[in-house]
Chains A and B, each alone.
Chain A
């Protein structure tokens, strides 16, 4: 099947600043792909090029078979967009806002049904200015879905949400998968990408630094268990065999594949040497660590 999105060698320069540097990106029809990166990494620039809001410097881009830069207006019939910051018209009710948006499409979904999908049926007659932050985000999604798109862009759909609102949004985004939409979402939350996406593409300083499933990404970095503790001032140095390093927090750190044996050896040494091993901690790296590791050299 043809890819919903096909990007080769995409670059975007603003004067001397390289916002996006020669990236390739494919999104298969029907998949949810997370575009993960820190603020300023080039996520929004890329997604806005794909949405047809920005003119790229170079590269080839195909979205649903068209180059967004010179696609006909009818191309937009099949694309739904949730922008990072856009307010609904405050004077309209949620229902009216969805009906107005529906009037822009030739084959829209039923407005009431769309409100139901995002769980806004009870607030349909509320003026949009009276909606809570979470309800406004649901309305954003309803506005993006009412045209019955095949492809949905979500630019940081949960930034600024409290944890329960995020969980709720995730439920809605998962519902998109069930109705067969292709989704490209940007996020700077690793857990969000892991939870929602079939595949993750990590961008740092305008370059793609890694891509794959959450599991594949985890395997790309040092996934060994880390044993850490806070070294005391007069502690003797631990034996060479442990290859102790000092981590970012100033703690002593041992990386190991055999947690049990290492712990045994380490605690034996500590008891004999009279070392306290204050704040002793044993942990597998989280995906958050993986992500920070992948993007740490990029600076943005």
Chain B
């Protein structure tokens, strides 16, 4: 039997993941509270997955990714999605230069390590498709030339849940490309008090660059090495299957509430996010707690609800809770 020395594995992870604490500390200098958001940003960063953020305006979504970019010493671009935005405005285009009498490539704002696609649902499908294709392929073609996107490449898209008029909701197939969907909530009272103080003091703290993009790429390789037992794999598959065929897991009552369950990409994302979470927790192996910790973020945008569920105000979070309460933990 191929054995792993748990002590050795943990020691390695302890060493390699030391930057997580430093990074978290640096981000927390600027971002008050929102630990959940920061933790999920790190999971997305380490697992190589993009993040869809949902939350009302003013919850430090932009500030969070800006601070992360500053901490990693990486390029950061913000793209405000508007109804008149065109794919070329995101990806780049060919511009005719009168001086050189040639078409020159003008790269779009997507050429950065960290992208904040603000209010992604305000732009029509063609712009969303352009961004999501780039997210998936990690390359962009302008004219007859294809350009690789820089590594690490992390897109954090936001959408406002309270405004629906004049928006173009992301199709299910495109939402599936986001590894995590994080719902950002309001800060606590004490945290909000601190935010007021920080803003009123006039000297707003800035995050220092404590990492390089290369460190992140290296860390991603280590995350891939985090050990995931076959029992955990089966647990992940059981959870995803329970969203597809709930009646097989004694959840017959959910059958009429779920239009479609998680895709195989959900299983992959759940496994990757669990590994990243185990890494953040400085463990060299995945335990069921890791899976459960990231389950809501990975699955909430991948489960389709029926009209019956919507009529009864049942959310995907309710479905995930039911699934986690029914699937046996290894």
A-B interaction: no
Interface residues of A (CB under 8 A from B): none
Interface residues of B (CB under 8 A from A): none
